[in-house]
Structure 1
């Protein structure tokens, strides 16, 4: 049995297959999933699991060099804005774009990991870095 990293077999598979600059989305329960993009749905109730919990879990097992958030989160979701600032303080390049452009960029992701989060603009696109 797997001891370290993700026990969710789909997340473990996706993370193992990521290459430099590939992207994945961690999404709230309302973000539309683009056609043709795999969705790993972790939601099992309103707010469960939450965006911060899933983000922390992914970052513990994923080399992230860049993170993209919707600009609208800055005025609508201070908790997500704080998480974005924390990422920047940890050396991740943090960018903001309009929510419409964010949704377009989701089309290029390898996967959308859907959470049960029910707060506005609790979404991020994480871009893979390299470990060397």
Structure 2
């Protein structure tokens, strides 16, 4: 594969194409390695499945956000999977620690100074259901619990 200037190494040609064909309001899921990507993508009208094996979401997210703006007109720019009630009790929060990393990356990539990226928590099974209506799901090699995130594409 030839190299292009300024394109992050974490982005495969297929993912670059995905970013090029999405439009305002389209949503992309970055899924951890335990996410049921293949089964959620099976069937008419379901999202297209992409692979980023061996790449973590923490690596892929800034690479994507370097090229794709988030949607500031949507009620939220990103959504994440809430932890189960049992895990919430253990941690004292409904969100995994990785969510704050995502917020920091998104704020930096968006150049946000006066407002913060809005991250919507979604209950685990509702998250799976919601993902069926997204544009695409990128299966990563991320092993971080609750690392899944939905991005809503904005305009340049």
Q: TM-score, normalised to structure 2's length?
A: 0.71
Larger Rg over CA atoms: 2
Unaligned runs of 5+ in 1: none
Unaligned runs of 5+ in 2: 72-76, 85-92
How big is the alpha-carbon RMSD for the aligned residues of Structure 1 and Structure 2? 2.1
- Name the structure 1 match of 2:65: 59
Distance 2:102 2:125 in 1: 19
User: Of residues 9, 17, 21 in structure 1, which corresponds to 2:13?
Assistant: 9
Secondary structure of the residue aligned to 1:60 is helix
Distance change in 2, residues 1:101/1:10 (3 Å): same
Indicate if the aligned counterparts of 1:88 and 1:94 stay in contact, CA closer than 8 A: no
- Name the structure 2 match of 1:24: 28
- Name the structure 1 match of 2:129: 104
Q: How many residues align?
A: 126
Indicate if the aligned counterparts of 2:68 and 2:153 stay in contact, CA closer than 8 A: yes
Indicate if the aligned counterparts of 1:69 and 1:95 stay in contact, CA closer than 8 A: yes
Indicate if the aligned counterparts of 2:28 and 2:136 stay in contact, CA closer than 8 A: yes
- Name the structure 1 match of 2:90: none
Q: TM-score, normalised to structure 1's length?
A: 0.83
Secondary structure of the residue aligned to 2:120 is strand
Deviation at 1:8, TM superposition (A): 1.6
Q: Which has the higher strand share?
A: 1
Structure 1 segments, 4+ long, off by >6 Å, are none
Secondary structure of the residue aligned to 1:68 is strand
Deviation at 1:88, TM superposition (A): 5.7
- Name the structure 2 match of 1:85: 103
Residues 1:41 and 2:51 aligned together: yes
